[in-house]
Amino acid sequence: MFVFLTFLPTLELRASIPYGILVLELPWWQVFLMAVILNFIFGVALYQFLDFFVKLFTKVPFIKEIYNGLVERTQRKVEPFVEKYGTIGIALFIAVPLPGSGVWTGALAAYLLGMKHRKFALAALIGVILAGLVVTVVSLGLLNSFA
């Protein structure tokens, strides 16, 4: 279940880390490492295959409509970060541990803004590590407050 949560859009490691630490009572460092590594690998793989999936699924009219709405919203949310901070902008967007950010949306945003694969991989690595650190610290704080 812990690994499955890491792959879910909007939840990602924001859900899997607290679940692993607070519910499964796994060592925090194992949870952190597993969530960060899996989230990073998934984000880079997702980015790699986005072009294929976009071309395939947008042939269906209602999916194309949903996709176009997602494109507009993603560009509106992320473009200011990227214009101002470049690769670090995507990393910061991925790092914000709030729903609607994360590696799923970061991969889509980088794809839509034409970011090169290597730059996205760097942004994903930095963003996922930062998000993982924030969520782990908060989870450990919650664990200690109940002890």
Domain count, the chain: 1
Domain that holds residue 63: 2-146
Distance CA 65, CA 62 (A): 5
Cα 33 to chain centroid distance, Å, stands at 15
Residue 11 pLDDT grade (very low, low, confident, very high; cuts 50, 70, 90): confident
- The percent of residues in the chain predicted with pLDDT above 90, rounded, is 55
Estimate the crossing angle of helix 103-112 against helix 87-95, to 10 degrees: 150
Mean pLDDT of 16-35: 95
Q: Where does the pLDDT of residue 85 fall: very low under 50, low under 70, confident under 90, or very high at 90 and above?
A: confident
Confidence at residue 20, expressed as pLDDT on a 0 to 100 scale: 95
- pLDDT (0 to 100) of residue 113: 85
Reported pTM: 0.85
Quote helix, strand, coil % in the chain, to nearest 5: 80, 0, 15
CA-CA distance, 36 to 17, in Å (whole number)?
9
DSSP codes joined into one string, 1-20:
-HHHHHTSTTTHHHHHHHII
